[in-house]
Amino acid sequence: MTAHRPIRTAGDLAEAGLIDASAEEAISRVASRYAIAISPAVADLIDRADPHDPIARQFVPDAAELTLTPEERADPIGDGAHSPVPGIVHRYPDRVLLKAVHVCPVYCRFCFRREMVGPQGLGTLTPAELDAAIAYLAAHPEIWEVILTGGDPLVLSPRRLQEILERLGAIEHVKVVRFHTRVPVVEPHRIDADLIAALKSSGKATYVALHANHPRELTGEARGAAARLIDAGIVIISQSVLLKGVNDDPEVLAELMRAFVETRIKPYYLHHPDLAPGTGHFRLSIEEGQALVASLRGRVSGLCQPTYILDIPGGYGKAVISASSIEAEGGGCYTVTDFRGNAHTYPPQG
Ligand code: SF4
């Protein structure tokens, strides 16, 4: 049955057959802390007969979210430590995040910004805050790339997006604009001519980083939405989170990366899950992640290889964490391991 409006409460979830009525009380407690939204397209994708459905696991709240562990933190990747003005995160010298909105069309249960997004989150920048954020970008000539994230920037109307992007377009030293979004997957019908024209209105090189974690998310409609963006000259790269019970399986991960490449989306980042509160049930060890990523080598084309990264807790930025396939031996020799796990010697430089 196709729903026509987003699911936002424990009652909605029970009515849609996504939780048992007996779970409503616990899920209401989750809802009082973390936002809930499941778009109609995502609700349709959920297999209600499968108690371990990987789509449901990403979006249907679970009582496990009420369990906090000592290592978890409200701001796991340390945005706050690098925010000179509201809405700006300036962590790396040549690029910034511009967070104009803190709402999303769906709320992922593992979200690394779950304390900032949603109706009780940081909200939308006021006109004065947006002016200050744009003034910050203009005053910093080292800023080459602006990454619109949030929240999901594509929830803004085409008119609002165009207003912001035209202001970015007027800043000479900004050469690249990137959007981090789930909209092409979770609300594919919104990728229409007006929205695409707005996304391109900065006149800069325009990239979309599309967030999806399971191959079933790349439906025909989602692939169509991605194709409309790509055919309009927007480059799409992927970003996924490695999640226990969703994609922690070599075949699922391979299928996801192949689905991106078939859709002309270049696999970009595979994130190790962050230490966001109440998300311990999604986290796997770094060793498990490294083994999964190593399993992609040889299994799928080089085009399908993402970079496995960890955002270092505290705001120190990203680090590549794939296991190395090369080890230095004595005398300038190296041992290199091939995709079948066989070791080979590489000679010293002559
Ligand atoms: S779309 Fe991004 S910001 Fe929004 S809930 Fe999901 S992970 Fe968080």
Task: Give residue-wise pLDDT tens across range 298-309.
Answer: 899 999 999 999
Residue 136 reports pLDDT greater than 90: yes
Residue 331 is predicted with a pLDDT of: 93
Q: Is 333 a catalytic residue?
A: no
Interval 237-254: pLDDT, tens: 999 999 999 999 999 999
| Confidence at 350, pLDDT banded by 50, 70, 90 | confident
Residue 121 is predicted with a pLDDT of: 84
Residue 286 is predicted with a pLDDT of: 97
Output b/e per residue, 297-320; b: 16+ Cβ within 10 A.
eebbeeebbbebbbbeeebeebee
287 to 76, 122, 283, 333: CA distances (angstroms): 20, 35, 12, 26
**Cis status of the peptide bond prior to 302, with omega within 30 of 0:** no
Rounded mean pLDDT of 118-130? 91
Among protein residues, the one whose CA lies closest to atom 6 of ligand 1 = 108
Catalytic residue among 34, 53, 104, 182: 104
**Ligand 1 atom having least distance to the Cα of 181:** 1
Residue 3 is predicted with a pLDDT of: 64
- Nearest Cα residue to 102 out of 68, 129, 64: 129
Residue 1 reports pLDDT greater than 60: no
Find out whether 124 and 100 touch, Cβ atoms under 8 Å. Answer: yes
Rounded mean pLDDT of 56-75? 96
Q: Is 92 a catalytic residue?
A: yes
Amino acid at 12: D
* Ligand 1 centroid, distance to 111 Cα (angstroms): 5
Q: Where are the alpha helices (DSSP H) in the chain?
A: 10-15, 24-33, 40-45, 54-59, 127-138, 158-169, 183-186, 193-199, 220-231, 250-262, 286-296
User: Which amino acids bring their CB within 6 angstroms of ligand 1?
Assistant: 104, 107-108, 111, 113, 117, 150-152, 182, 211
Share of the chain above pLDDT 90, in %: 92
Average pLDDT, the chain: 96
Q: If you ran DSSP here, which 8-state letter would residue 7 be given?
A: B
Contacts (Cβ under 8 Å, ≥6 apart) of 32: none
Interval 139-191: pLDDT, tens: 999 999 999 998 999 999 999 999 999 999 999 999 999 999 999 999 999 99
Among protein residues, the one whose CA lies closest to atom 8 of ligand 1 = 111
Q: Cα angle vertex 89, ends 84, 91, to 5°?
A: 100
Q: Is 91 a catalytic residue?
A: yes
Residue 123 is predicted with a pLDDT of: 86
Instruction: Please state, as a whole number, how many other Cβ atoms lie within 10 Å of the Cβ of residue 327.
Output: 11
Contacts (Cβ under 8 Å, ≥6 apart) of 162: 197, 198, 201
Find out whether 241 and 209 touch, Cβ atoms under 8 Å. Answer: no
Q: Is 111 a catalytic residue?
A: yes
Instruction: Tell which one of 30, 111, 274 to mutate to probe ligand 1, the residue whose CB is within 8 A of the most ligand atoms.
Output: 111
Residue 137 is predicted with a pLDDT of: 98
Q: Is 114 a catalytic residue?
A: no
The residue written with tokens 């769906």 in the block is 106
pTM score, whole prediction: 0.95
Among protein residues, the one whose CA lies closest to atom 5 of ligand 1 = 107
Q: What is the distance between the alpha carbons of residues 176 and 202, in angstroms, rounded to a whole number?
A: 9
**Ligand 1 atom having least distance to the Cα of 114:** 8
Residue 306 corresponds to which tokens in the numbers above? Answer: 């993402």
Q: What is the distance between the alpha carbons of residues 200 and 5, in angstroms, rounded to a whole number?
A: 29
Q: Where are the alpha helices (DSSP H) in 106-152?
A: 127-138
| Confidence at 80, pLDDT banded by 50, 70, 90 | confident
Rounded mean pLDDT of 263-285? 97
Residue 2 is predicted with a pLDDT of: 58
Residue 225 reports pLDDT greater than 80: yes
Instruction: Please state, as a whole number, how many other Cβ atoms lie within 10 Å of the Cβ of residue 40.
Output: 17
Give all strands (DSSP E) within the chain, no chain letters: 88-92, 95-99, 145-149, 176-181, 205-211, 235-241, 266-271, 307-311, 318-320, 326-328, 334-337, 343-346
Residue 238 is predicted with a pLDDT of: 98
| Confidence at 4, pLDDT banded by 50, 70, 90 | confident
Residue 23 corresponds to which tokens in the numbers above? Answer: 């779970």
